[in-house]
Amino acid sequence: MKIIKISIFIIGIFILLILIPDPTSIFQTDHRPINRSAIRNLTVMLDPGDTFYPDLLQIDNNQVVWMANEGSDYEIYFWDHSFDSYNKPSNIIKITNNSHRDIEPIIHDGKVAWIGNKGQNSQIYYWDGTYTIEGTPTDPKKLSSDDYYAAEHAIFKGKVVWTGNNAVYYWNGTYDLNSQPNKAVIISHPSRRAYSPEINELMVVWREFDGRDYEICFWDKTFYEDGRPIESKCTDGDYSAYYPKLSDDKVVWQRSDSEDSEIYYWDGTYTSDGKIKEIQLSNNSFDDSSPQIYKNSVVWTAENQNIYYWDRTKNTNGIPSNPILLSNNTFGSPGIAESGIVWVGQYNLHSVIYYWDESFKRNQIPSDPIIISDIESDSSSPEISGNSVVWLGEHNGNSTIYYLDLSLIT
């Protein structure tokens, strides 16, 4: 009798082992199995050597920039996506070399803008992606004036925007006869506080205080004949709007509805009386915040560590479909690009990088994302562009930048 009970117990354990999912099943998707070791072998480290605390990394078209401490202050580093004969990243260069802090680099089209903390005020610096005859980076140019604190910069194809003195400045990427940057112009409304500018091919957007609350303003990058920028158009809501992001001619932001924060969207259309036509994407009883947009797909975070995704669909009446809950396991803002969405979540006791794209669906229901970072150490700060993603992870106890070409695993 005892032997029978033991046999039944063993059989039961065996059945449970079959039924309980393998803990690495989180790496499986509905469209293709993902091998954990394959991802690890395809991930590369960006380490220039002799630096500490890499941070605030950015990626565009496979080119990566970041700030790191070289022992005395922070400098800006750049990788052009080149590899050596052993398939290791090569040509990681330092594009600043001075005695003050250089921080918050942003890259687009091979050109980089950042903040330099020199003197009492910070300034905006710019490197045009060119090199000297000796192969070293050309000297960066200072775009902002020394008489105000410059911050919140953004760049698109060599044109740069930033804030200072409660205004939004715009530099059009041109130089004078002495090869010095032409003076930036203020594009926000005079006597109004303006912040959080973003720029792309078509427009510049920012948030601006209209005397009652903050609204989102749109400028189409045109000027009057006398050189003054044509006035921007702004939203007109009942409560303050914040943190605009744009892609092509589409813009998203968050705005209070008097009870909590919701996500709003502009698709380039206007009301019959010529006002910006706001489209509300979320409508619930909790805060929705930090929207990101690619083309006309939008992702954002919400309370309780949730990530929501609007897949650009609408019903027959033109009303946006309900957002899709992608994850209830997230920390910080998600990122979105052509290849999908990335965010930081938890796996066991570590923070890891999750990845999801629209092919991870079955009958229009999103399946589990995959983890692309190490599961035995903490990772953070994912940035995604095209088919590539970078993030901060650990290696031998030190903070390190990792790079992965997503096209190799999906």
Q: Express each pLDDT in 373-397 by its tens digit.
A: 999 999 999 999 999 999 999 888 8
Residue 23 lies in a domain: no
Residue-level pLDDT at 396: 82
Quickly count: other Cβ atoms within 10 Å of residue 189's Cβ. 17
> Which of 16-20, 170-174, 329-333, 358-362 has the least mean pLDDT?
16-20
Does residue 123 lie in a domain region? yes
Instruction: Say which CATH number the domain at 396 has.
Output: 2.130.10.10
Prediction pTM value: 0.88
CA distance linking residue 208 with residue 360, whole number of Å: 39
d(CA 309, CA 367): 13
Per-residue confidence (pLDDT) for residue 29, from 0 to 100: 37
- What pLDDT does residue 49 have? 73
Most confident region among 20-24, 29-33, 280-284, 304-308 by mean pLDDT: 280-284
Is residue 19 situated within a structural domain? no
Q: Which residues contact 11 (CB under 8 A, 6 or more apart)?
A: none
Domain count, the chain: 1
Say if residues 261 and 289 touch (Cβ distance below 8 Å). Answer: yes
For residue 166, being part of any structural domain is answered with yes
Asked, for residue 149, whether it belongs to a domain, the answer is yes
Residue 36 belongs to what domain range?
30-408
- Measured distance CA(339)–CA(355) in Å, rounded: 10
| Inside any domain, residue 201 | yes
Query: Does residue 13 belong to any structural domain of this protein?
Result: no
Q: Which one has a higher pLDDT value, 24 or 233? A: 233
